[in-house]
Structure 1
Amino acid sequence: YLTEGNGKSQLLGIIGLTSDRDRNFDAIDRKNAQNLTPAFVTAVRQTIQQRFTNIRSTHPAVEWRFVEEAERRSLGLTPETIVFDKVYPLYGISDIRGSSTERNRAIQTDLMEQFQLALAVVDAVCQCHETALGERLREDFLEYIEQLERRITVDIEVTSVEYLREHFEIYFEFFVRCGEKAKVAVEAYQGACDNEHQSVYKARDRYDEMLHTINSNLQATWESWQQRMQKVIPHHCDFEASDGIDHMIYAGKSINSQFSLFHLRSLRYDQLRAVCDCARTGLRLEKEYGDMLKVAHLVLIQSTTIDIYHNESTEKLFDVKGTRDIRYEIVKKRIDKAIDKATKERITQTGMLTVVYSTEDEWDEYRQYLRYLAREGWVEEKIEMGMVEPLQGVSGLRFARVRVLPAVEPEKE
């Protein structure tokens, strides 16, 4: 038993020693067994700690607090919520522009090819046999092809393939006996669908490979900068990759007691440099691959601190506390789709860095950073500025945008 903070005892575990002979234990055996108790308690404590600290992977900068709380709980103390108060958020995103459109185009290309192959089979069968069912299948395929040419719906990727499997592929045993032309057409269809997806998937494979290439290169660039930024001051950094990458940095004294204003501004400037390097990575890929999807980049500025806490009931490592802090989360989720109030175009543009801010003080600070970036050769000196179209529940945001310059290639000897 261990004593909890409220004075009650907590059962941690039970251990027993048995023998196949009566009265086989003496006083020495009992003493040796008692000597095992501390080791047993330690093992149980470690199990409790591991169960808590391994709920989610924790960043090294904040791991100490999770270990501390795990130790408290292993001692039977009342659980406390893990909170890091007054931390500065630094959010950035590198968004692959038009990824949904390209994905739909790939779906359209694959399904069109698969239905054309299916149509060739039915045409060959109908030439060999007069069959009303075959004619109806042919009409269905033509309707599907016409629909695919018009637009791609959310469900068509699944429903169309299911239709072919349930209303077409089940007849292959008969179709291959309908003459050599039908047999060849069936083999062509089966060959095109001979993959793990069991459907035509060439265009989607190219798209997935393209997306993976962009994401992996962006991730490698960001992680390289993260290693440098951690040397400025240890801080927490969440990272996600989907249609591009986004990062969420939290820094403050509650995470590292040595944190200062200089550390904050160093991180902010390095964040911009890192995002510019991600932009250069996108430009390099575009130059190498030509038809690669293009990437737009944004940094959301907030000069005030927020409080974050570990919510054990959710999948996220940290949630924000308080209404004021939730507003930041709302902006973060919607800002990459934000519109320029004047031009009605997206505030993010491919190959450019966009910074979004609320106050003149924030702009004064970041205008200096943009000047430094231009001096270093990261961006052009020209700055485009505008107002953000009000988001749901949020208004008054402004943005500044600069074009990122490609890296200067070393001269060949």
Structure 2
Amino acid sequence: MKIVTKRDRVSLRRRVDQGTEEQRAIVQSILDDVKANGDKAVLAYTEKFDAVQLEDYKVTKEEMEDAFASVDGEFVEILEEAAANIRSFHQKQSSQSWFDTSEDGTVLGQKITPLEAAGVYVPGGTAAYPSSVFMNVIPAQVAGVERVVMVTPPGKDGKVPDGVLLAAHILGVADVYKVGGAQAIAALAYGTETVPAVDKITGPGNVFVALAKREVFGDVDIDMIAGPSEIAVLADDTAKAHEVAADLLSQAEHDARSSSVLVTTSQALAENVQTEVEDQLKSLPREDIARRSVEDYGMIIVCDTWEEAIETVNEIAPEHLEVITADPIQELGKIKHAGAIFLGPYSSEPVGDYFAGPNHVLPTNGTARFSSPLNVDDFVKKSSVISYSAQALQKNVDKIARFARLEGLEAHARAVETRKERWK
């Protein structure tokens, strides 16, 4: 993990995979095929890409119950407690419809309506992610979404990992389908004989999932096009090097393109963390992935002043930001751009990933400059409500008509002026 100064560092390399022309063409053909041929296409692609033949790809009630029975009871309790924490946090985000009445009888307001159906993509591959189930499903449920549909790739045995099914079971998600990749996104967006179409798709996935989400946006809504995971640690000389190194590696093990950055004013901490990262890498089960990550996208930036360190962090706009300083609360107001902010030495990033309650679906690749974590508002619509009284229109009709004509829209002006006949 290289040590640089702010003056010497180059901008962190963009890590959102836009896909090749060939990949984009493959994704488009899959979307078109599933849209036209439904289940037949889904099952064919599942056999082709996941190497498993399925006759029916909906998870049965018995499979859900078997998963629940097969998992250690203590782990069930941990998941249930985590789900309760996440639900409690998101319940505080709920918005209410509101209406404002004026003396002249005008009523203006905003009506909050939950989406009718949401689709959640839970990644498969080298690991199982019950946490992804919680973080995507719970805000939708809190928002009042009537129907939540979950898709996740099957393993070679044609099954879904027990942990993922257990998380779905805990939340009461009954519509779970063994399908992944672009074909899963197509099924959610357009519907098949088995999978009902949804209004919004959330959840991370590989490049084919990301490209598919990009293509179906407009037919349905999506949460974001997420890049690989990232963490920045803002630390002074009170931080412990072995803790900082462990936190940096917690993201590096996700993906060879994950980014882990330490920003500090302490040369001693920088050197100690560099040594610790190398030492800890040697014992990681996912050493190869983590090592490629820290070598290609890892960095320790030593700044001359604390103001420069804060500026650097805001330039990075990281997905996860840990502030490990003598007084982390004091720094909070200075942080402008970060998906999630972890304050103090006891707020290690995995605390937020799994248990504390805030959502771990976060903006990546600098998009924290203008984006927010997945939240309850992502699963509702807001409709404006306008009820003008006769008194209000009579008072303002000429102003509205003049405004319309200023924009060259005569029909707009006449639409309000025709009401003048009511007052003759």
TM-score norm. by structure 2 comes to: 0.22
Please say which structure displays the higher CA radius of gyration.
1
**In proportion to residue count, which structure has more helix?**
1
